[in-house]
Amino acid sequence: MSPRIVALALTVIVLAAQAVWAGPLQDDLKARRARMMERLTPQSLAIVWSAPTRVYSGDVDYEYRQDSNLLYLTGITQPDTILVLMPGNKTQREILFVSEPNPRREHWEGHILTKDEAEAASGISTVYYVGQFEPFLAAMFAQQSFGSPRLAETKEYETFFAAVASGSASLALPLGPPPAPSEPLGRVYEFANKARERFFGVGVRDTVGILSNMRQVKSAYELTVLDQSAAISSDAHIAGMRAAKPGRFEYEVEAAIEHTYLSRGAMSWGYPSIVGSGPNATILHYEASSRQMQDGDLLLVDAAANFQGYTVDITRTYPVNGRFTDAQKAVYRIILAAQDAGIRAAKAGNKTADISKAAADVAKAGLLELGLITDASGDQYRTWYTHGSVHWIGMDVHDAGDYDRVLAPGMTFVIEPGVYIRQQALDNLPDTPENRAFKTAVAPAVAKFKDIGVRVEDSFVLTESGLKNLSAKVPRSIEDIERTVGK
């Protein structure tokens, strides 16, 4: 075969790959990068790194999960990837560094994206190998052109070079909150310190706030993916409900849930599944899934799928025999009413604190009625109502975002009131006259409702027309749950 035919064939392959990769995702990624650069100065050089691999045991790594900010900006899921944004450049404002070809590594670990594939996947046209990152950075601060000779002629980097010369250049890095004085520095802080040592006069700016602010309001494309993630997760919860029966083990319900993820194209969970029956339903992050479920148990299931990098968050609590007892119904109704109150408060112009207060006020009144607290005006309810009611969702199950920000269309969050009646919670209260009186007063109710843990959690998006429940398909009322469980 002639070299010309080989070259033509390779061109066809690359064009075909680009056709597969190009589309709404790449358009959205490009818009995200543009929005980030609008928030930076022209004198900035922003860097975002991929997540490192993590050792599970010996020579085995954990399943790889990309850094959410890099995934948000590039769509690249493999390690050893670096994104550079230079808002002041003339044309090459987005630069991607990816792993070099390594046939031996690919034999063990799988395909590594080529430059062309990385370009097609991310929509970034300037792609170098990751081994060129340090020479690139050194060239930028030495005010030397990098790349093709043509770039030197076009003065591609002249804005940044002028900033370096004047001492006004800035490295924009995802630093996040500083570690305590006694804690070791993270890798980004270490990089920032080394950059200050080597490149005199460079400033450092934290970009975590910029990225959190951007990620808090989802694009139309993101909402489409999140909606699909919710649909898969909802079906998984229903499969779990149908698998629950006295005598089965918690892990059998978990298996039914996670089988649904895989069968629907979500290749992993968004967070480790919580499947806790009986007393385990009162453990917030119970993950063992090892107990055999007994007749009369409540089962609390908190689970959701990671679909294309996005996860919702859904919790349901239900009797494994398909019938709530009167005591279980009493607690469940409080939590359902608390969530309903939170839903009514979830509207544009309010804040998450308004949702939390609305839910907590209902929960306090309900706990007082059941005799589990003696005073609804203070914090007694926190003995049983132990976590917040709202958090953002998106690429992370507890997604980036400012909780003091006013609610606006495009924001996605959960409303998740919960009550957990644990004798241990009562026993661990400080020994004060007030607490002794409280313990005596609530002891009969605690004995009645002991080991009942109830959480109801749904995922929502605030739209221009109001609140949309992404997980509404999952049975939520007592009647709908009893019609579904074990069927």
pLDDT of 12 strictly over 70? no
Query: Residue 451 has what pLDDT?
Result: 97
Give yes or no for a contact between 159 and 42, defined as CB atoms under 8 angstroms apart: yes
**In which element (H, E) is residue 97 found?**
strand 94-98
**The pair of three-digit structure tokens given for residue 298, joined into one six-digit string:** 């409540």
E runs forming strands in 107-248: 126-129, 170-173, 203-206
Q: Which amino acid is at 128?
A: Y
Query: Residue 267 has what pLDDT?
Result: 87
Of the candidates 376, 456, 459, 378, the one whose C-alpha atom is nearest the C-alpha of residue 420 is 456
DSSP state for residue 356 in the 8-state scheme? H
Query: Residue 151 has what pLDDT?
Result: 72
How sure is the predictor about 18, in pLDDT bands with cuts at 50, 70 and 90?
very low
Domain boundaries, the chain: 21-213, 217-484
Query: Residue 22 has what pLDDT?
Result: 66
* Lowest mean pLDDT across 17-21, 37-41, 281-285: 17-21
DSSP letters spanning 429-481: S---HHHHHHHHHHHHHHHHHTT-EEE-BEEEEEETTEEEETTTTS--SHHHH
Query: 9, exposed or middle or buried, with CB in 10 Å at 0-12, 13-18, 19+?
Result: exposed
pLDDT for 173-215, tens place per residue?
999 999 999 999 999 999 999 999 998 889 999 999 999 999 9
pLDDT for 126-162, tens place per residue?
999 999 999 999 999 999 988 877 776 678 999 999 9
pLDDT of 89 strictly over 90? yes
For 217-484, give the CATH class: alpha beta
**The pair of three-digit structure tokens given for residue 408, joined into one six-digit string:** 């606006």
Query: Residue 189 has what pLDDT?
Result: 95
pLDDT for 236-263, tens place per residue?
999 999 999 999 999 999 999 999 999 9
pLDDT of 6 strictly over 80? no
What percent of the chain has a predicted confidence (pLDDT) above 90?
A: 91
Judged by DSSP in three states, 485 sits in coil
Query: Residue 108 has what pLDDT?
Result: 92
Taking residues 301-311, report their average pLDDT: 98
Query: Residue 4 has what pLDDT?
Result: 41
Residue 120: CB partners within 8 Å, gap ≥ 6?
A: 14, 17, 18, 20, 21, 22, 26
What percent of the chain has a predicted confidence (pLDDT) above 70?
A: 95
Taking residues 296-316, report their average pLDDT: 98
For 21-213, give the CATH class: alpha beta
Q: Give the C-alpha separation, 466 to 345, whole Å.
A: 11
pLDDT of 14 strictly over 60? no
Q: In what order do the strands lie in the sheet with 82-85?
A: 126-129, 94-98, 82-85, 44-49, 170-173, 203-206
Of the candidates 277, 273, 298, the one whose C-alpha atom is nearest the C-alpha of residue 285 is 273
Q: Is the dihedral of CA 77, 82, 87, 93 positive or negative?
A: negative
34 conformational bin, left if phi > 0, alpha if psi -120 to 50, beta if neither: alpha
List for the chain the helix, strand, coil content (%; round to 5).
Answer: 45, 15, 40
Query: Residue 21 has what pLDDT?
Result: 54
pLDDT for 468-477, tens place per residue?
999 999 999 9
Taking residues 90-94, report their average pLDDT: 95
Taking residues 63-71, report their average pLDDT: 96
Q: Which amino acid is at 24?
A: P
Taking residues 455-465, report their average pLDDT: 97
Q: Give the C-alpha separation, 63 to 54, whole Å.
A: 8
Give yes or no for a contact between 57 and 254, defined as CB atoms under 8 angstroms apart: no
